[in-house]
Structure 1
Amino acid sequence: MSLLIMPARTTPRRQSFPLAEELHFDPGAVRRAVAALERQASRAHTRGLSIRVDLPGLKAADVRRALSGLPSPGDYRVLIKPLRYRTRPNLSGLCEFDLGRIIVRVPEPFRAFDELVYVRARRKPGAAMKFAWMSEKVRFRTRRDVLRFVYLHEWLHWYLREMQGKRSGAETACDRFALRNFRRRQVTVDDALQAIRGLRMLPLSDELRLAA
């Protein structure tokens, strides 16, 4: 009697797959990436601005030259309108978030004028919420001065809401930012961050975020 030796049945090994390493979320890297994008946006030349001028005697090319070196407001449009006054010229502008545009009003007819610019508020002693306002008198000699000052003021309103996600009603900070920078040749996002440093600003509500 002979025994047949059958070959041992071999079970094929399952192919092993390397486990993918779980992605690590680094908040610092995200902040650095966002800051780099903002710096890149701040270097965008104002030639890319969408400008409309409703002021006779002033062309879009003139406005673009006047705003040269200032940061761009993304896809917002810049509208230049005349400011009719009765007694004396003054500064006027508006950032319309729902329409996506910045309005800069230029006094017409134009003549040099002085304007008080409020740069800081200090609370007075006592229980009542009263403040002492500190201001500087600024001389606006040309249309270019007005265009750059008002544009920078309204641009910071845009930056606070669209880039920082904050409520944009920081009038004193916007005036201070415009005053420090409207006569400089180049202005960047870093200058804006310095102007709003230390401000206590509330984030946008969910309703405003959805509306935007």
Structure 2
Amino acid sequence: MDSFEEFENELERLERVCLELEDQAGLSEIMNRSREGRFFPLGAFGEPFIRREYFAEEYDARREKTRDAYFSVTDENLRKILISACRNVGNFKSRCLKEDILNANRGVIAANIKLQQPPWGKAALVGIGAVALGYLIFGVAGAIAGAVGGFFWGQAIISQARNEASALLAEAKADLERNQKIEADNALVPELFSQGEELSGKRDTNVDEQHAFTNVAQTAGRAEL
């Protein structure tokens, strides 16, 4: 995506397709309820939890309700179209994230190159110009003064360029780390529907057994299963 606005517009279009198909299948009311998550969310009774587990359990609850609703559609062709539309949303988000990671990697590389290649040529031209200007105005003494001034001026240019490159590198690294963390978190979240279910329109019980909460708990070293 060339811009965040384009990303939002395309995502909105894909989600609108899902909503229209759900309405066509008579699932609008069911899906509105399914997107509300659990009636009693994790932590509702004061039990300890970590934030990631809370969101994982909420996702699992919405996922189960969504799968139940979609597979309740008796028209197999419409069911396949529904699943395909739903997967299109997830696949689009995944592609955009991969693009963001690729662009962030490019940003890190470009910032590193800029940091390792200060503008020596520009600094040298400034120094030469200062010497020439000093000589034209004050002769030899001016040239000497220009050389001294040009040296410090050139050093200031180099220092500023390095500071700017360092800031760009830090920003690019932060952007890359942020997107990589999102990708790692997403890897713990099972798809709503598998590709096999999209093609067949039939429910795969193995996919039912996948849970974000389990993955998150195991990653946190808190598996209790």
TM-score range, shorter chain: under 0.3
The structure with higher relative contact order (CA 8 Å, sep 6+) is 2
TM-score (normalised: structure 1): 0.24
TM-score (normalised: structure 2): 0.23
By percentage of residues, which structure has more strand? 1
